[in-house]
Structure 1
Amino acid sequence: MSAEITAPGPGANVKVLRLERGWLQDHLAGRARMSTSMLGKIERGERPLTQGMGAVLANAFGITLDELLGQVPVNAGDQDRLTELRAAMRRFDLPADEPVREDRLAYDLAELFRLRGDADLSAVTHQLPGLLRRVQDRAHATGLPEDWSKVAEVYSAVYWLAARHRWMTLAELAVVRQRQAAERANALTLAVAARDEAGTFLNGGDFAGGLAVVDRALVQAESGMRGRTRHLALGLLHLRGMTLAGRLRDKKTVERHIKGARKSAAVIDSDVNVHGMHFGPENTLVHVLATHVDLKKNAEALAEGERYLRDGHTLPATRIGPLHMNIARAKLALKDRDGAVDSLAEAWDIAPQMAKVHPTSLELSRVLVSLHKRSNPKVTALAKRAGIKL
């Protein structure tokens, strides 16, 4: 059964799911091949549940990672928009009577990318249904590859929104439609679709399956693309591969993807927006930092992150918010609890809507509140934002 977040923090769901099955801690720990002590710390909020550890526990429960982490409930004001969005997705192959003007679509797509970059999940939710209908109608009317590319771009945004909330049925349908549109578009759009498809494996905890999707797409991009576009495709795929390999703690594969991403980023030179996503030296560094935390190279990750923030950055909130979350993870692992609170507060300030639903921010909030036994105004403020009762 999928857990729904009522008390924030994925680690809290572990105990709920265990008790639903009538299992003792030692039984679950044995199935997950971890110590009972470690499991107890996760359940009590003394140690954060990582995505890699979450995948192991999800497998022990016989569920997917997204089910363990828990779906974010739909806001009452968003339910009608999501119903409209699903209706538009069902009509993927049904053309309308009249095409939509190109100038309006260009403006609306630019606005969608801006809202996504700002991590404004609510505004993205409200814009998607109407925009999806319009881009599909135009693509059917013209049949042009560039118009089908726009359809794929909007479906990528649907996937992004659904994955942030762990609405995985919607996310998986979105990537199917995204690929169908991409097949009528171009090679770069296909590479982005493969990246998002691998993302559904990441969300579900099947990291090896996601790597297989990435490797297949890399082979296609290597052999079928040329020039700058080829490096954009390769770079985006290597970033996804890096994250997947990091969750598996496969150091050799991590290094292969880091090397590939850095090679392409050097060609691109400065970060650019690709179908609503960013690739270049900065986003490569942000991904490397997150992967170093997954591999427990926390001091190295912290040094990279602080240097990057000190030197200035151009990435949007949707990337800088998670960067601060990963810096908080590194600080907590290095036993700098106060520093972790400060970094997590930065993530909430920069991307509050994302922090409210992101499993990393929720889990860090739960653990930091649990570990700070003494009164601390910063922790009190963090608890209030995360919905944790003190």
Structure 2
Amino acid sequence: MGTTQLAPGANLAALRKERGWSQAQLARSATVSVSLLSKIEIGDRALTPAVAAALGKAMGLTMAEVLGRASVTETDGVRVAELRSAIRDYDLPSNQEVHEDQIAAHLALAGEYRDRVDVARLLTLLPVLLRAATAHAYAANTAAGWMALAETYSTVYWLAARHRWMDLAELAVARQRWAVEQKPNPLGEALAARDRAGTYLNFGDCETGLTVIDRAIATAQNSLGGTERDLAVGILNLRGMTLAGRLDDKREAAREAARHIASAQAASEGLGREVDVHGLTFGPQNTLTHQLATCVDLGRPHDALALTDDLPAALAGLPPTRVAPTHINAARAQLDIGDREGALESLGTAWEVAPQMARIHPMGQEVFRVLVSLHRRSNAQLIRLAKLSGIAM
């Protein structure tokens, strides 16, 4: 499956050397400084998604390939093969009799595994759920049945994107879109557009991803009303601010990010609380987590950390899928301002909250690698995280 145990910066160095390129050649082609590239490769600076996208483009690779695919165990590899088989059979429903309440129960269970970032159990469940949801969608031929299938594909996309299995992520998004189009479903189409834009994000094509988002927002505003409109527009704007924060032109990035942040905040105020919809969460808290991450991507670590003076309280009640990445983003910001101990503490919190996510999260790996490099000597926390992550010190 082309997996790697290397942290992103180390993976970048390996990819460059495989091609026989010097640092000067790659830096020139990607329009980054040799000094920055050198620091990234030795671990004195973190490889950010935006820089990974630029370097990947110079080498003819996607951002996801530069960051490196997350590895899986042999058993999980078998489960991935079963999942791929179920996706191939998208138009070959089985004759099994499946009731709507069974699908709902399995989707709820998948949601629990996803929220807890229990990747092993989710990977075991998904092939079975996908075949059952396919059979039910064809048999029932209702908007609810097709939406349940689309939600299943959305979860497949989430799993694939977290591991940077981008071929599988793209296929899942295409099937998700196909499922929601079987019956009129404006909310489902908005959620599918959000995931489609995510594939552009992972490939480093943020401009096209924003085009997908803006078009979907306009459609949602015209076709939905009330709570459903707030949910669709809000969720799309969360993806929009992430895409905007990673644009090459930082002036345009700041302008676009501010637009999507304001729109998301307005939609979240309309809801007043966190709302779950088809496996996704939107509300004031989730908007803050995305705003914090976007500030870090924009190179504004002080703004990111100033969003709240009590991050655990601000994240209270959110699932580990949001809590762990937010602490990783806080660690990125703390590292950027020179607060190494704070970054180490935030990274440790991410590992405690969702160890399986922290293990496969590229920026979690990268921040840890840089902390090891900068500390020059080990301490108990670094040793503990090294054992958990599998990254050599």
Are 1:310 and 2:309 an aligned pair?
Answer: no
- 1:299-378 matches, cutoff 5 A: 299-310=302-313, 313-378=316-381
Opposite residue 122 of structure 2, the aligned amino acid is V
Cα 1:45/1:345, change in 2 over 3 Å: same
Give per-residue Cα distances to partners, 1:147-169, cap 9 Å, x unaligned: 10000000000000001111111
Are 1:259 and 2:259 an aligned pair?
Answer: no
Partner of 1:229: 228
Find the aligned partners of 2:281 and 2:109 in 1 and give their Cα distance.
Answer: 16
CA contact (8 A) 1:3 1:13 kept: no
- 1:176-325 matches, cutoff 5 A: 176-185=174-183, 186-248=185-247, 249=250, 250-310=253-313, 313-325=316-328
Partner of 1:76: 74
Find the aligned partners of 2:275 and 2:236 in 1 and give their Cα distance.
Answer: 15
Find the aligned partners of 2:329 and 2:233 in 1 and give their Cα distance.
Answer: 24
CA contact (8 A) 1:3 1:68 kept: no
Find the aligned partners of 2:299 and 2:231 in 1 and give their Cα distance.
Answer: 29
Give per-residue Cα distances to partners, 1:80-107, cap 9 Å, x unaligned: 2222212211221123334312222211
CA contact (8 A) 2:117 2:356 kept: yes
CA contact (8 A) 1:372 1:379 kept: no
Are 1:6 and 2:5 an aligned pair?
Answer: yes
Mark the runs of 5 or more structure 1 residues left unpaired by the alignment. Answer: none
| 1:305 to partner: Cα distance | 4.3
Partner of 1:150: 148
Opposite residue 373 of structure 1, the aligned amino acid is R
Cα 1:54/1:292, change in 2 over 3 Å: same
CA contact (8 A) 1:232 1:279 kept: yes
Cα 1:376/1:225, change in 2 over 3 Å: same
| 1:373 to partner: Cα distance | 1.0
Q: TM-score if structure 2 supplies the norm length?
A: 0.96
Find the aligned partners of 2:194 and 2:233 in 1 and give their Cα distance.
Answer: 10
Opposite residue 365 of structure 1, the aligned amino acid is F
More displaced 10-residue stretch of structure 1: 292-301 or 233-242: 292-301
Partner of 1:111: 109
Partner of 1:121: 119
Partner of 2:169: 171
| 1:222 to partner: Cα distance | 1.4
Are 1:384 and 2:383 an aligned pair?
Answer: no
Find the aligned partners of 1:217 and 1:121 in 2 and give their Cα distance.
Answer: 30
In structure 2, the residue corresponding to 1:150 is in which secondary structure?
helix
| 1:369 to partner: Cα distance | 0.8
Opposite residue 59 of structure 1, the aligned amino acid is K
Opposite residue 32 of structure 2, the aligned amino acid is M
Partner of 1:38: 36
Find the aligned partners of 2:231 and 2:308 in 1 and give their Cα distance.
Answer: 23
Find the aligned partners of 1:127 and 1:6 in 2 and give their Cα distance.
Answer: 25
CA contact (8 A) 2:83 2:126 kept: yes
More displaced 10-residue stretch of structure 1: 25-34 or 305-314: 305-314
Give per-residue Cα distances to partners, 1:206-230, cap 9 Å, x unaligned: 1111111111111111111111101
In structure 1, the residue corresponding to 2:295 is in which secondary structure?
helix
Cα 1:318/1:173, change in 2 over 3 Å: same
Give per-residue Cα distances to partners, 1:267-307, cap 9 Å, x unaligned: 11100111111100000000000001111221221132443
| 1:63 to partner: Cα distance | 1.1
Find the aligned partners of 2:225 and 2:212 in 1 and give their Cα distance.
Answer: 21
In structure 2, the residue corresponding to 1:278 is in which secondary structure?
strand
Cα 1:95/1:5, change in 2 over 3 Å: closer
CA contact (8 A) 2:5 2:391 kept: no
Find the aligned partners of 2:257 and 2:200 in 1 and give their Cα distance.
Answer: 17
CA contact (8 A) 1:152 1:182 kept: yes
In structure 1, the residue corresponding to 2:342 is in which secondary structure?
helix
Find the aligned partners of 1:99 and 1:357 in 2 and give their Cα distance.
Answer: 37
Find the aligned partners of 1:30 and 1:50 in 2 and give their Cα distance.
Answer: 18
Partner of 2:49: 51
Find the aligned partners of 2:188 and 2:338 in 1 and give their Cα distance.
Answer: 43
Find the aligned partners of 1:75 and 1:30 in 2 and give their Cα distance.
Answer: 38
More displaced 10-residue stretch of structure 1: 330-339 or 85-94: 85-94
| 1:311 to partner: Cα distance | 5.0
May I ask how many residue pairs the two structures share in their alignment? 388
Find the aligned partners of 1:74 and 1:388 in 2 and give their Cα distance.
Answer: 15
CA contact (8 A) 1:3 1:69 kept: no
| 1:341 to partner: Cα distance | 0.5
In structure 2, the residue corresponding to 1:273 is in which secondary structure?
strand
